[in-house]
Structure 1
């Protein structure tokens, strides 16, 4: 007989009980490499084709290609403290590497792969681009609804990958999907809801017995009726 799972452990999704971490980690690394490659290539093309020219209008003005260099984060936040962004990036990568030790979920692998690709893409700019090591400016080139980023900050492929990965992670957390392939929170909520419902019904029966003198459905109700 197999040993029962420890109390409080998550309920494994179908097919995850013996799942190894090789496939999720492979997906994470491949997706991160793909996002990074696309980011590097688009930045290279932007520098070649968009330097010293007016923004390129696409999709009727919904999207513009407008080259800019950003020393800070979105909306140029922290532009006077560029050195702090590489430190944050290294910390994020270290945290993801630590979490990947228990990775068994493909959706989480996709989320973390997008985040890694986005973080590394912009980290390369911070380290190697002008004006110097670890204070480099990030190359951005995509602007929506305005050629100069007055509606939404100008961004790049790395930013898009990072945001998509974070949003996916939030969705996975809210739906109870764990990195090890379990879905414990949803099951716990259903069990807790059932227990609360039973207690509420027992309380109603007891109150009815106390007010009418008729036996209720619980032991407490029978005692009051007696």
Structure 2
């Protein structure tokens, strides 16, 4: 199977995201407590409902925006999967990176379908800088996957 690493990356990142949200939000009761200091200031759990994209951008909270973001995420996942499968570079790194992006995006899509918003709970600060934003495990996978797509891109630049 040509896309084995992509499928594994997508499945594992999706499951890790959903499991972390269930554990922290529901099992640990962050949805009721709204804050849990884990290892302050480096790691804290703060409850967040994100109706927009990163950092709450485009977060109007209306139904049309919700469904547009769901559709956009689905289209991006399909285009990314087709691009990686049809590309000349089908290395494990490219496949895995695409899978991380796809699994993270689908984790956030699942939240939008289930709750109407994305559940965020991670807050990190360091070195006297107080970070007001929250994010989730899916966001980490999306970022890591995007970085991997750049890093593992096999196209070589031709010398001048």
TM-score (structure 1 length as normaliser): 0.61
Q: Please name the residue that 1:105 is paired with.
A: 91
Shift of 1:54: 4.7
1:143 aligns with 2:123: yes
1:95 aligns with 2:75: no
**Structure 1 counterpart SS, 2:135:** coil
What's the C-alpha RMSD, in Å, of the aligned pairs?
A: 1.9
Q: Please name the residue that 2:16 is paired with.
A: 38
Shift of 1:32: 0.9
1:158 aligns with 2:138: yes
Quote the Cα distance in structure 1 between the aligned partners of 2:6 and 2:97: 8
Q: Please name the residue that 2:41 is paired with.
A: 61
**Structure 2 counterpart SS, 1:83:** helix
Quote the Cα distance in structure 2 between the aligned partners of 1:83 and 1:54: 27
**Structure 1 counterpart SS, 2:66:** coil
Shift of 1:152: 4.9
Query: How many residue pairs align between the two structures?
Result: 149
Quote the Cα distance in structure 2 between the aligned partners of 1:151 and 1:162: 20
Q: Specify the structure having the higher radius of gyration (Cα).
A: 1
Superposed CA offset, 1:102-152 (max 9, x none): 3521110121011011111001111222xxxxxx11111101129xxx625
Superposed CA offset, 1:139-196 (max 9, x none): 11101129xxx625201111110011111212234xxx14xxxxxx33x22xx3xxxx
Quote the Cα distance in structure 2 between the aligned partners of 1:112 and 1:124: 18
Q: Are the equivalent residues in 1 in contact too, given 2:8–2:96 (CA < 8 A)? A: no
Shift of 1:58: 2.4
Q: Please name the residue that 1:207 is paired with.
A: none
1:128 to 114, 123, 138: 114
Shift of 1:46: 2.1
Shift of 1:52: 1.6
TM-score (structure 2 length as normaliser): 0.83
Superposed CA offset, 1:12-47 (max 9, x none): xxxxxxxxxx35x11110111111111111111122
